[in-house]
Amino acid sequence: MNVRDNIETGKRGQVAGRAARRRGFSLIELTLVLAIMGVLIAVASFNLLGQGEKAKTRATQTTMATIRTALDQYNLDNSAFPPDLATLQAAKLLDANKPLKDGWNRDLVYDPRGRSREQPYILGSNGSDGMAGTEDDISVWTVK
């Protein structure tokens, strides 16, 4: 073995070591990739969830608009609003086979005693949380 051989072996060893390091991912790189994937999955599922809630809100608004039309018709016929929504079904103003539920399959809130002249009855949904008086409540009077 001479000096020249030693230098070449040393060089080869260095080159081989660098290639080996390039071939695999470091733990930090893998952790980073997994963290980014986690964030992307979280964002995607949050958006899907949001879409589902929007669809339920829209379904609730559509149901309430249908009921509002029936309530107006009942009021024209009887000069009063019905004591409950089932009366609209009995009067054949609403489809009796269609449940009077919101998008979350909960009963709609109805009260023939309204708050004012402009809002002669209360018709709404407690929204996704199912609780009254929270931000996600839907009222027929705020539906555009």
Tell me which residues touch Ca ion (CB under 5 A). 126-127, 129, 131, 134, 136-137
In terms of CB distance, is 94 or 140 closer to Ca ion? 140
Question: What is the closest distance, in whole angstroms, from the C-beta atom of residue 115 to Ca ion in the complex?
Answer: 18
Round to whole Å and give the CA distance between 32 and 77: 68
In terms of CB distance, is 53 or 137 closer to Ca ion? 137
* CA 39 to chain CA mean position, Å: 18
Question: What is the closest distance, in whole angstroms, from the C-beta atom of residue 104 to Ca ion in the complex?
Answer: 10
Question: What is the closest distance, in whole angstroms, from the C-beta atom of residue 86 to Ca ion in the complex?
Answer: 23
* CA 83 to chain CA mean position, Å: 33
Question: What is the closest distance, in whole angstroms, from the C-beta atom of residue 93 to Ca ion in the complex?
Answer: 27
In terms of CB distance, is 72 or 129 closer to Ca ion? 129
In terms of CB distance, is 82 or 127 closer to Ca ion? 127
Q: What would the two tokens of residue 119 be?
A: 């809002």
